[in-house]
Amino acid sequence: MKCLRDMIMLGTMLAAAAPGCGDNGAPTVEMGTIGVLLTSPSDVKAIHIAVTGDGISGSLDGDMQFVDPSWSLTMLNVPVGDDRTVTANAYSDEDELPAHLLYTGTVTGVHITAGTVTEADIALVATGDGGGNGGIGINTPPHVVSMVHDTTVAADGTTQFTATARDPDANAKLTYVWQDFTTSPTPGLFTPRSFEDVAPGTPVETTYAPPAGFIGTAEIQLTVTDDTGASVQRGFLIDVGSGLKPVVTFDVLPTLKFNSVDQQEIAAGELTTIWYTISYPPAGPSQPPTTHVTVEWTTSEACMGDFEAFTDQLFLNQGNSDMLSATYRSAATPPDANGECDLTLKLTDDAHAWLSSAVVVWVVDGRAVKVRPLD
């Protein structure tokens, strides 16, 4: 039986606790709260969440509530501790019988610590027993959850950029590579330019020196790649030599998650539809409650085809997720003998910060368009 994977967005998991003492003066067990937010395929009618771990008798259970387009659940009185395991089971019917189980997924190593915020992603895997809407699962790229940088730098000065990324696979190791697209006379320098084998959630910092003699706007890009080859790009603009006072900026862009491709195979000249989720995570009080982004789809140079039926402008609210789709029509087989095409999705906000990631497809004349899982 072919195993199909649907990568479903699991949003933030919030942990907060308040220590205290019991009536006899003995310390009470610290309790936290777990909030779960995810988006699922339309064939899911019920989702059950269970939390297990040391100090938890049996498991803590709850059913998620659906408010279009997302499922959510807040679980109170979760004992604080390390290495909690959260399991999600998605069903085709509200009775939650084993025969109706469509997808299941587990995230381990969830740390519930007083006064902190814990983020985790979970991948729901189609069981093959209860049905499922099919499609080929796509390895989800890392999420760059923060990017801190100055808005300006002196022409002969230096400045620091700090970035933090996470990955849906908690065990993944990440690689960071910085790039300056300035070409006059040469690109600027990063010290260091790259980082390897970085644990998810670990901030990395680089020092940037603009090109000698350059005055203008530099275009900076960070590429974060996981150990299965999935990558995401985050970029921003910085003024060089403008004389303006530097202002530290915390870029908050939506996170991007590729879910699946509706059609596993289509003939050249036909259509394939890509499903993806865009989320605008909650952050600090300085983050705007709503963000506007422009959506752009492009293909690699050798590929021929057009994108149809996708939303090109989005207004997102903090804490919300939208599941969207884009339809790609291949015009012909590309010159590459392997028929490989990159379909790239780019999101740009009003401050000209952006993120992008790509889905790889193979267009083979007379056979099919196939989306190959990257994991």
Calpha distance 115→109 (Å, rounded): 18
Q: Are 368 and 261 in contact (CB under 8 A)?
A: no
The confidence score (pLDDT) of residue 374 equals 38
Bridge partners of 223, per DSSP, are 177, 233
Q: How confident is residue 249, by pLDDT bands cut at 50, 70 and 90?
A: low
Longest dimension (CA), the chain: 78
CA distance 110 to 87: 11
Handedness of CA 329, 331, 333, 338 (dihedral sign): negative
Report pLDDT digits (tens) over 211-248. Answer: 988 999 999 999 999 888 888 898 888 999 887 766 66
Domains recognised in the chain with CATH numbers: 12-134 (2.60.40), 143-251 (2.60.40.1080), 255-371 (2.60.40.10)
pLDDT at 176: 96
CB crowding 67-86: b at 16 or more within 10 Å, else e: eeebbebebeebbbbeebeb
- Quote the tokens at residue 209: 């020196």
3 state DSSP class of 270: coil
How many Cβ atoms are within 10 Å of 355's Cβ, its own excluded?
26
Q: What are the tens digits of pLDDT across the range 107-155?
A: 777 777 665 555 555 556 666 443 333 445 566 788 887 788 888 899 8
If DSSP codes are grouped into helix, strand and coil, which group holds residue 283? coil
